Amino acid sequence: GAGVSQTPSNKVTEKGKYVELRCDPISGHTALYWYRQSLGQGPEFLIYFQGTGAADDSGLPNDRFFAVRPEGSVSTLKIQRTERGDSAVYLCASSLMAGNTEAFFGQGTRLTVV
Amino acid sequence: DQQVKQNSPSLSVQEGRISILNCDYTNSMFDYFLWYKKYPAEGPTFLISISSIKDKNEDGRFTVFLNKSAKHLSLHIVPSQPGDSAVYFCAASEMQNQGGKLIFGQGTELSVKP
């Protein structure tokens, strides 16, 4: 497809489990961003990649969260030892390059930790 | 601390009238401001933006005004249509220095009544 694709759309997991969330950016977009949106709030920045490297991971809440983008395209957000407070919609966005003015968002992955 | 604030969680407007959505920010280093629109179960979609060197940007029915001295921006939609009903997020960025990382407000839910 032409847009940013995120899988799965929904994920329910038990507290303490490990989850991976996947993002396929728009082809040719070198910058990729992860955000988290809790109920009633705006998206909150987690991390962004320019190419394969994490350029800014200042938004990751703690060391249970990790993201990779090994080939500069698909990215995976990994959450270890999930907690109920991790429940949120995780949004991915991509842009042509970092600092480019328009980022395109995927539909998000709704993560529920029970 | 909330660097970008949308103080009205909701707004209801009659079809054909003007909708005005407001946003305040605290960081004087922000140099680019964007408005995103979000429907349920979809990712945010870009609507309109403005650079800090301008005070107005217009695109069809949508106009964004920026008052840098007041650290305030607003989105005007005229005439409002029922299809405009969605959650609107204001976002700000130090676009070049921070690689396009966006700081979002909490969102305003707009309801346009026929």
Q: Which of A41, A104, A106 sits opposite B106 (nearest CB)?
A: A41
Contact A95 B95 (CB under 8 A): no
Chain B nearest-CA distance from A41, in A, is 5
Q: Which of B43, B46, B104 sits opposite A42 (nearest CB)?
A: B104
Give the per-residue pLDDT at A17: 98
Contact A108 B89 (CB under 8 A): no
Distance CA B88, CA B35 (A): 7
Q: What is the mean pLDDT of chain B?
A: 95
Give the per-residue pLDDT at A2: 79
Distance CA A12, CA A110 (A): 8
Q: What are the DSSP calls for B25-68, one per residue?
A: E--TT--EEEEEEE-TTS--EEEEEEETT-SEEEETTEEEEEET
Residue B9 near residue B109, CB atoms below 8 Å: yes
pLDDT digit string (tens) for A85-109? Answer: 999 999 999 998 877 668 899 999 9
Give the per-residue pLDDT at B15: 98
Q: A103 in contact with B at a CB cutoff of 8 Å?
A: yes
Give the per-residue pLDDT at B83: 96
Contact B91 A31 (CB under 8 A): no
Distance CA A70, CA A15 (A): 28
Buried b (16+ CB within 10 A) or exposed e, B88-98: bbbbbbbbeeb
Residue A111 near residue A8, CB atoms below 8 Å: no
First to last CA, chain B: 38
Q: A56 in contact with B at a CB cutoff of 8 Å?
A: yes
Contact A107 B41 (CB under 8 A): yes
Contact B43 A45 (CB under 8 A): no
Domain B4-113, what architecture?
A: Sandwich (2.60)
Distance CA B76, CA B80 (A): 9
Q: Could you tell me which of A38, A56, A58, A41 has the C-alpha nearest to residue A98?
A: A56
Q: Determine whether B76 is exposed, middle or buried from the number of CB atoms within 10 Å of its CB (0-12, 13-18, 19+).
A: middle
B99 chain-A contacts, CB cut-off 8 A: 31, 48, 50, 55-56, 98-99
List, for chain A, all residue ranges whose pLDDT scores fall below the cut of 70: 1, 100-101
Give the per-residue pLDDT at B80: 98
Smallest CA–CA distance from A106 into chain B, residue: B43
Distance CA B14, CA B73 (A): 22
Can you list the domains of chain A with their CATH numbers? 5-107 (2.60.40.10)
Distance CA B98, CA B1 (A): 18
Q: Which of A55, A99, A108 sits opposite B43 (nearest CB)?
A: A108
Q: What residue ranges do the domains of chain B occupy?
A: 4-113
List, for chain B, all residue ranges whose pLDDT scores fall below the cut of 70: none
B39 chain-A contacts, CB cut-off 8 A: none
Distance CA A5, CA A74 (A): 10
